[in-house]
Amino acid sequence: METETVLRVVAVVLAAVLLLSNFDYSGMLNYVKGIFKRKPKPAPAPVKEEVSFLEIVESWHVLRHQCEVYGLKEAVEKIDEVFPLLNTED
């Protein structure tokens, strides 16, 4: 190659480097990093424990008893309306 051609190629390369160095490439780099970034695996769903009928009755009894202790007569009446089959002790 001739010296003049080499100098022109070097000048064009230098001009391109100077021109490209003025731009902000952080957005583009973040986009490319995001493409290759591993996505977190979703957490497994919590396992529901089986609840027995006796535990439900006990929960109802505790709620009703607390309402009686705090003098919430209307709440006790509503609980008795909602759970009429569990009112065997009255």
pLDDT tens-digit readout, 10-60? 999 999 988 888 888 788 888 888 888 877 888 887 877 787 877 877 888
Which pLDDT belongs to residue 36? 84
Confirm whether pTM is higher than 0.85: no
41 within domain boundaries: no
Note whether residue 32 is domain-resident. yes
- Domains of the chain: total: 2
Of 56, 83, 54, the C-alpha closest to 75 is 83
Look at residue 17 and tell me if it is in a domain: yes
Q: Please report whether residue 47 resides in a domain.
A: no
In a domain, 13, yes or no: yes
Q: How far does CA 15 lie from the centroid of its chain?
A: 49
Confidence of residue 90 (pLDDT cuts 50, 70, 90): very low
CB atoms closer than 10 angstroms to residue 86: 14
Residue 46 belongs to some domain of the structure: no
- Please classify residue 63 by burial: count the beta carbons closer than 10 Å to its beta carbon, then call 0-12 exposed, 13-18 middle and 19+ buried: middle
Does residue 68 sit within a domain? yes
Q: What is the pLDDT of residues 54-79, one digit of tens each?
A: 787 788 888 888 989 999 989 888 88
Query: Which residues constitute the domain of residue 79?
Result: 53-86
